[in-house]
A and B are shown apart, each in its own frame.
Chain A
């Protein structure tokens, strides 16, 4: 106890330098200033409530006409196909791209930074913008949607795969290198087995993300259920819209449940 009294307790805000304090205040000021311009005021929220109630009333009951449900079912199948095929191709392409981008592993040396920058470019452009680009180049429909998901998945998985590869155990790689194994053999022999759980996890998140993205891609004409939703809103067919929203909810929920189960089984 006597010895403890010799040492003063550290200051409460020892980690907060004057510069950090000024930056913190500046960020808070920016948020408050932005809120006054773009955040809804309580009055606006109160005025919107009756409109929301009116819209909800017009959406009820959802359209359960068998012919309509059949059409929605096939549109959902197409949406799922876009997500599945896009994610699968994207994940497969992300493997070599992640390897080429991984610092200390890439056979390209400093060229790996260019690959990393390319992956960042794919990730920073939103999927709806990619969809607009692909609709403009390959035309309306599911193909544009699939290409969008491919690009979006590479942006997501490419980064996480590269990080997993960088963090892979170095010793087995060194052991294979000493045997005389080439870089490709080391990737498949030592890196891939070590990073597989992390990559599978990332891939499942990518698939979930792809399902959510593919739902909205139809809003810009890139196929899938989003196209039906846009038509329903454009033609004020709110009962059709509510059925579509419920269908999307069920599919996304099922997808998350399935990927959660898969992730749990991999633990």
Chain B
């Protein structure tokens, strides 16, 4: 609880008025994660992210950024503490129903897009509906209900890839594949979008395009965005707030515009 107050105080110092923000959509309380026989990756992370915020998470390799994101959606089981996403609370043994509920409201984009290579672009986007009820028809665009196909085509149009709907996923460039992954994450209308270094495997121009797309789509639709990055320009330009992880703890939490060179040195040298 102490960390929550500290963060609130930090926000106050940084000039972020709590009234300007929406309701909390992601809360972690004393979140801990240790791998069996390994080091403590997350060591008491407490944070609150509010509706509509765009938050960048930075830290050096192994600081626990990806682990934190995967803990939020139950892809990694947590060792201690509590996670609350969109009102769905879980501890170290999340119920499948709770995970399913929160995943329906959350889009996740992986660093290397994780598309099904042999399927068409449209089928990959239709996969985004697999969590919906009656989802068995979503494993291929051929069998998907017409409404799902139309939603997927709209999502592809949003990322400027509608013309590639029929192409095989692995025939696209890395940047295009990442945009397909974004369309897949957005097709079911998530309220939170979580992205694990979405631009890391792309060249600088494609990476910036992808980040720009992320920020624009989230802003236009009021989606809360949480992403990890190693690129400080991406953190500063596309987020309102930056969190820095060091030794498994939140080390910095302030508006992205206020992040200084010294903050970065302390984050990455620490």
Chain A contact residues, CB within 8 Å of chain B: 169, 171-172, 174-182, 184-185, 188-190, 192-194, 196
Contact = CB atoms under 8 A, between A and B. Distances in A.
Contacts, number: 75
Given A180-B104, A194-B116, A175 B110 contact: yes
Q: 4 closest Cβ contacts across the A-B interface?
A: A180-B131, A181-B130, A189-B139, A175-B114
B119 A193 contact: yes
B138 interface: yes
Interface of B: 73, 75, 99-100, 103-104, 106, 108, 110, 112, 114-119, 127-128, 130-131, 135-136, 138-140, 181, 184, 188
Contacts of A194: 116-118
A4 B118 CA distance: 48
B110 A180 contact: no
Contact of B75 (A177, A189, A193): A177
Contacts of A196: 118
A77 B175 CA distance: 54
Nearest to B99: A180
B130 A176 contact: yes
Given A171-B110, A179-B127, A194-B118, 16 more contacts: A172-B117, A174-B75, A175-B108, A175-B110, A175-B115, A178-B106, A178-B108, A179-B108, A179-B188, A180-B135, A181-B127, A181-B130, A185-B136, A189-B116, A192-B139, A194-B116
A75 B114 CA distance: 51
B188 to A, nearest CB: 7
B116 A193 contact: yes
A51 B128 CA distance: 71
Most buried by B among A178, A179, A192: A179
A100 B170 CA distance: 29
Contacts of A184: 136
A171 B214 CA distance: 21
A128 to B, nearest CB: 39
Contacts of A176: 127, 130
Contacts of A189: 116, 119, 127, 130, 138-140
Contacts of B115: 172, 175
B166 to A, nearest CB: 15
A127 B139 CA distance: 37
Nearest to A187: B139
Contact of B112 (A171, A188, A192): A171
B100 A174 contact: no
A171 B114 contact: yes
25 contacts: A171-B110, A171-B112, A175-B110, A175-B115, A176-B127, A177-B75, A178-B73, A178-B108, A179-B131, A180-B103, A180-B104, A180-B131, A181-B131, A181-B135, A184-B136, A185-B138, A188-B136, A188-B139, A189-B127, A189-B130, A189-B140, A193-B117, A193-B119, A194-B116, A194-B117
A189 B127 CA distance: 7
Contacts of B127: 175-176, 179, 181, 189-190
Contacts of B100: 180
A253 B106 CA distance: 56
A190 B118 CA distance: 9
A154 to B, nearest CB: 24
A96 to B, nearest CB: 14
A178 B103 contact: yes
B130 A185 contact: yes
Nearest to B73: A178
Contacts of A182: 130, 135
